[in-house]
Structure 1
Amino acid sequence: MLGVLTGDISNSQTFSNDELNHILDALKIQLSKYASQYGGNFDIYRGDAFQLAVTQPQHCMQIAIGIRLALKALPLSADVRVSAAIGEAQFRQQEVKIGTGEAFVLSGRGLDTIKPQYIAFSCQNEQLENKTKLLTRFADAHISGLTQIQSQTVLAYLEASDKSHENIATILNKNRSNVSRILNASNYKLVAEYLSYMEEEIASWQQSSDAEK
């Protein structure tokens, strides 16, 4: 059972070559981080598209939102569309884009139909997909409304092991009260609660699916 995320940089043709290279560098940093953290690998192809496969699919929405926040945190007003899917699949290291299986099919199909949203979730279990579809659309709309500074601060909070506002302020080299103000204005707890809910729902379905085999 894998989590597969397929995505591309939104409106990539509007950026200069230098700007696009800067965006791609930030994207590669996030993809490398998540591939290492959640047991997977990734490919970047066609200049602005990517695919990441991980062996811990319960974290796929944290990855999707993390990638969006990282690009929205850039001073270039960059964004990315990401279609996440979980299911049975196989891939070879360093050849993710030619992986096979249900998760790859669902993820690619989801990206084809994702507009006007920026984040989508698909699953071979129709009940789980339907149960989480509306919540994901709300989360997507909320992330779309975050500013550059809010995106940077929420991402730092989500990725920190010590989530105290003092620690986030230290990471970002900002005043603690300012960080608290930005986080509260960003409704960061709702984002964290959505991600916890998705992680629990996916893990629960995965356990029940494994038990049936």
Structure 2
Amino acid sequence: MIAVLTGDLVDSTAMSRKDYQLAVTLMEDYITACQKRFNARGELYRGDGIQLIFCQPQHAMRGVIELKSLLFSATHTQKPIGITLSIGLGDQLIEGSKPSVSQGSAFTLSGRGLDTTPSGHVSLHHEGGDFYEALVLATQFLDHLLNSHTQMQARVLYHYLKAGFPTHSQLADVLGTSQQNVTKHLSRMGGDLIKQYLALYETKVNN
């Protein structure tokens, strides 16, 4: 089983040229980071879309949360940058030189799932059994949390995941703020719940 993450920027045609270029740069940089951290493969397509292949599918949901938080927390934009994201868990039948020319159920599930995912939201699609149905429901709760975050909370969450859940003191040093502020933001955003969700996803999807 692999995981395919497919995403589209929200209202990209209405974005300013500056904001659009920033979004593209952030997505390109994140693809590079995923290649190094997770041995994933990815590319941009159609100008405002992104696709990542995770041969280790347990890493895909971390990619969803980080990418969504990274874009939303970008500063000096006319309005926060949103993205719609869909994960497909399934097979890869044909491996092409690029994600866009690969084939398999994971790609179909991810692509079709993106078409039915509300703009700016996150969804999970699978071929599995009852456990995966429960995981889909848990992902809907995760999506609700992520779409309730402020830009500052999204920034804290991005660095919290990227640094591998450091202590609040360590995270405060990274963000240049106080430990009290970090604790406040993590508490209000449901940081512990997100950490627990990821632990469940990464353990079960890896089995």
After TM superposition, the score normalised by the length of structure 2 is 0.92
Deviations 1:154-196 (CA, angstroms, capped at 9, x unpaired) = 1111111361111111111112221121111211001111111
Aligned partner of 2:116 among 110, 113, 116:
113
Paired residue type of 1:135: A
Match of 1:59 in 2: 59
- Is 1:26 aligned to 2:26, yes or no? yes
Residue 116 (structure 1) shift: 5.3
Name segments (4+ residues, structure 1) moved above 4 Å.
none
Deviations 1:51-110 (CA, angstroms, capped at 9, x unpaired) = 1101110111111111111111113301111101121104334x1111111111111111
Q: How many residues align?
A: 203
Counterparts in 2 of 1:84 and 1:162: CA distance versus 1, 3 Å: closer
Match of 2:95 in 1: 91
User: Aligned partners of 2:89 and 2:113: how far apart in 1?
Assistant: 12
Counterparts in 2 of 1:117 and 1:71: CA distance versus 1, 3 Å: closer
Q: Percent identical across equivalent pairs?
A: 27
Match of 1:5 in 2: 5
Match of 1:70 in 2: 70
Range with greater deviation from structure 2 (101-110 or 160-169): 160-169
Q: Do the aligned partners of 1:121 and 1:133 also contact (CA within 8 Å) in 2?
A: yes
User: Aligned partners of 1:117 and 1:14: how far apart in 2?
Assistant: 15
Stretches of structure 2 that go unaligned for 5 or more consecutive residues are none
Q: Do the aligned partners of 2:84 and 2:119 also contact (CA within 8 Å) in 1?
A: no
Paired residue type of 1:92: G
User: Aligned partners of 2:131 and 2:90: how far apart in 1?
Assistant: 12
Paired residue type of 1:81: T
User: Aligned partners of 1:193 and 1:78: how far apart in 2?
Assistant: 26
After TM superposition, the score normalised by the length of structure 1 is 0.90
